[in-house]
Amino acid sequence: MDKDTLRERLGRWFKPYAALWITLLVGGALVVTMALLGAEVYDDVVDEQGLASLDLPALELSQNLRTPELDAGVTAFTNIGGGIGMPILATILTAWLTFLSRTWRPIILVGGAAAVSTFATTVGKRLVGRTRPDHAEAVPPYETSPSFPSGHTLNTTVVIGVLVYIMCLQFEILWARITAITAGALFIIAMGLSRVFLGHHWLTDVMAGWFLGLAWVGMVVLAHRLFHLTRKREHAGPAPTFEHPVLREDQTG
């Protein structure tokens, strides 16, 4: 194999993955920056005149809806999005999709997306340091980490969102895609609302988790689409050239 052939093959392999990782890195930086900006404008949007005007009414409504049976059911559900439940669920679904696709795509996309969302959650909580609703207004077991943004909501939005995207790529049947999108959306919405219902987060914490999560999912999808576009172009090679018959006859004299 000569050097030109080796260089060409390496280029076809490297450029698509470079496009993927550069986009993921830039997108991840943007999402973390959004979390930083969220910390900067926090005081402006959570005063009595801002979005926080939704927090107390939402908490009061949740308290009126609680029953021992419903509290237990919602607590069991919200645990799925926690530090133990979500990794287990993500691992099972990612392994299943990896087996079906016979590619590393699910592991790369889900793993990379989850790592950034976890980092953004940690950054946001440390910078804002918002206090959760009082324990007297919450359902045990109580949580003590900072409240903004909701980690359950942000990480669930990212992991489930990316998994739904991969499922849509894997299954071409329309009803399967509609089912995946519907189930994923309902799961994400329910996870966020469960945090408010239990009094573990303010509604604005959950809204921030949804917003940041969807933004990051969009960047992951964009990175993957660019990866495929770049790989398709690299494998296609240079466009064929065609000589005009008249010019060819004149040149051959």
What is the share, in percent, of the chain residues with pLDDT greater than 90? 34
* pLDDT of 215 over the 50 cut: yes
pLDDT of 75 reads 95
Tens-place pLDDT, residues 34-92:
666 655 555 555 555 555 677 888 999 999 999 999 999 999 999 999 889 999 999 99
Question: What domains does the chain contain, in order, with CATH numbers?
Answer: 56-236 (1.20.144)
- The sign of the torsion formed by the CA atoms of 192, 195, 197, 199 equals negative
Per-residue pLDDT, averaged over 10-23, amounts to: 56
DSSP string, 212-234: HHHHHHHHHHHHHHHHHHHHHHH
Q: Evaluate whether 124 touches 35 at the Cβ level (below 8 Å).
A: yes
Q: What letter would DSSP give residue 133?
A: P
pLDDT of residue 122 exceeding 70, the answer is yes
What per-residue confidence (pLDDT) applies to 247? 40
C-beta of residue 103 within 8 angstroms of C-beta of residue 20: no
Give residue-wise pLDDT tens across range 93-118: 999 999 998 888 899 889 988 988 88
**C-alpha angle with apex 106: 13 to 216, nearest 5 degrees?**
95
